Amino acid sequence: MSALAQFFAMEGVHVSGSDRSFDQDLGGDIRRKLENGGIRIFPQDGSALGGLPGSVVVSTAIETENPDIRKAVKLGLPIRHRAEVLAAVAREHKTVAVAGTSGKSTVAAMIHDIYARTRSRISVITGGPIVSLRDDGLLGNAYNAKTELLVIEADESDGSLVHYDSPRLSVLLNLTKDHKEIAQLQSIFGAFLKKSPHILLNADDRNLSDFSAGSFYDSVGLKSPRLATFGFGTALYRAEFVDIGPAASKMSVNGVLFNVPVPGRHNAQNALAAAAACAELGVSLEDCSRGLEGFKGVSRRLELVGECGGVQVIDDFAHNPEKIRAALETVQMRSQRVLAVYQPHGFYPTRFLKRELIEAFSTGLRNADRLWMPDIYYAGGSSQQDVSSGDIAGPVRKSGRQAAHVPERKQIIPEIVETARPGDAVLVMGARDPSLHGFAEEILRALCLSFSAAGRS
C-alpha cells in the first residue's frame, strides 16, 4: 500500500491514508518518509475521508468493520482493492511483473538496479525497500521515474495476481506452499500466465514444469507465448560454475561471469532471474553483470545490522518455510552457531504452515543452533487465535533441536546475550511487524554492552 501511495504522490496526485501501526506509535521512520513525500497521514478513525477523496484503496488485510471503510461506505465513495489499482497502473506501462512465492522483491530490485547502472533509472513498485533507493532518502519500495518501463512485484497471496493483463514480461520465480495450497497457487499462476504474451520461467522448479509445455496453452485454446527459461540445469539462461560464498557468489551465465554481492544460493538464483529478465528486454548479459556488481540488496533480506564481540546480528524477512530454510542455510555458512529468533506473522499462516514450519526448523537447524519464538504477531482485527508459537517450538524441540517459546519478545534478549559467543550469528526472522528491525538493533546494543562490560569489543 505504501508503495502505491508513493508512486501516485510522485505523479503529483494528492494522497492521504491511515495505518493502524501508526496509531500504535510503530513505524515512525516509515511515517516520516511518507510524510516527507507529501502524503498526509491520518488516524484510522474515518477522519482521512473528510476531504472526499476520489477513491479509497484498501488491501486484503483491511476488514469491513474498519472505521475508514465504514465512513467510505456511508459517504458512497468508491472502494478499490490495491491489486485492482496496481493492475490499472501496470496497463498504462510496459510492465515487468515478477511473481513467485519467494524472491519477488529482490529480483525486482535487481532489475531496477541493472537499469539504473547501465541504462537509466526505471519505475518500480515492490514490497521490500530497495537499499539503493533508501540511500537516496526514500522509503525505497517505490520510485516513479515517469518511464514507460515499470517493474512490479505481482503478489499471489490473496489471488489478486489474476488482475494483471498482458504484461510486457511475466517472470515466474518459484512455487511452494505459502498462503495457499500448491494446487491453488498453480491455478492462480496459470490464470496469470494465460494473459502473458512473454514469459520467463524457472526451469529448476518442478511445480512450474506444466507451464513450460505448449500443451498447457493448447489446452485452454491459447497460442503459445514467447517462452524463456532460467536455471542451474537445462535452460535458455543457464548458470554454471556456481561458487556460493558466505557473503557473495560467483557464476557464469551463458559464458558471462557474474559476481553477486549478496549471500546465499537463493540470491544467486535471484540474480540469474533478474539477468535473464533484463536480457529478454534487450540488455546484454555483460551489462547485466556490470549492473549487479554494486547491488546493495533489499532491506531486511539478510541485512547485516551490525557486529559486536565477534557476533553478527542479521535481520531477515523470512516467514515461510522455504525462506526460513534459505536464511538458515546462508547464515550457517558464515557462523559457528545460529541463534535464531522467529516471530510468526499471523495466526492463519502459522496454522496453515504449521507442519512445514516444524519440518523447516527440525531439519534446518544444526545441533548447536538455537531457536527462540516469541508470541505470534497480532496486528489487530478478527482472527481465530487457536494456534501459538509453542505449537511450533515444542515439536522442533522434540525432534532434538534447541527451541523454546518465550512469550515476551524482550525476554529473549538477555538469553541471547548470555548464550552468544564469538563466531555466532543472531538471525531475526519474521514479517509484517514494523518493529522487528528495531528489535534486531536492540539485540546488537545489548551484545555490545555485554562485551564492553567484559572488556571485549
Third-level CATH fold of 2-77: Rossmann fold (3.40.50)
Mean pLDDT of 267-288: 98
CATH superfamily name and code, 303-453: Mur ligase, C-terminal domain (3.90.190.20)
Give 187-238 pLDDT, tens digit per residue.
Answer: 888 888 888 889 999 999 999 988 876 666 666 566 677 899 999 999 999 9
Query: Of residues 164 and 265, which shows the higher confidence score?
Result: 265
pLDDT of residue 382: 66
Phi, psi of 240 (to 5 degrees): -130, 165
Above 80 in pLDDT, residue 126?
A: yes
DSSP string, 394-436: HHHHHTTSEEEE-SSGGGHHHHHHHH--TTEEEEEEESS-TTH
Above 90 in pLDDT, residue 62?
A: no
Question: How would you label 154-177 residue by residue, b for 16+ Cβ within 10 Å and e otherwise?
Answer: bbbeebbbbbbeebbbbbbbbbbb
Locus of grid cell 557464469: 252
Model pTM above 0.75: yes
Query: What 3-state class would DSSP assign to 52?
Result: coil
Rounded mean pLDDT of the chain?
92
Alpha carbons 296 and 303: distance in angstroms, whole number: 10
Q: 179-183, 251-255, 420-424: which has the minimum mean pLDDT?
A: 179-183
For 174, 261, 271, 373, 439, the CA distances from 314, given in Å and listed in that order, are: 25, 16, 21, 16, 11
Q: Residue 119: is it exposed, middle or buried by C-beta count within 10 angstroms (0-12/13-18/19+)?
A: middle
Q: 105-109, 117-121, 152-156: which has the minimum mean pLDDT?
A: 152-156
Give 305-362 pLDDT, tens digit per residue.
Answer: 999 999 999 999 999 999 999 999 999 999 999 999 999 999 999 999 999 999 999 9
DSSP conformation class of 384: -
Of all residues in the chain, the percent with pLDDT exceeding 70 is 96
CATH superfamily name and code, 84-292: Mur-like, catalytic domain (3.40.1190.10)
pLDDT band of residue 173 (cuts 50, 70, 90) is very high
- For the chain, domain boundaries: 2-77, 84-292, 303-453
Q: 106-115, 155-164, 264-273, 367-376: which has the minimum mean pLDDT?
A: 155-164
Mean pLDDT of 271-282: 98
pLDDT band of residue 27 (cuts 50, 70, 90) is confident
pLDDT band of residue 77 (cuts 50, 70, 90) is very high
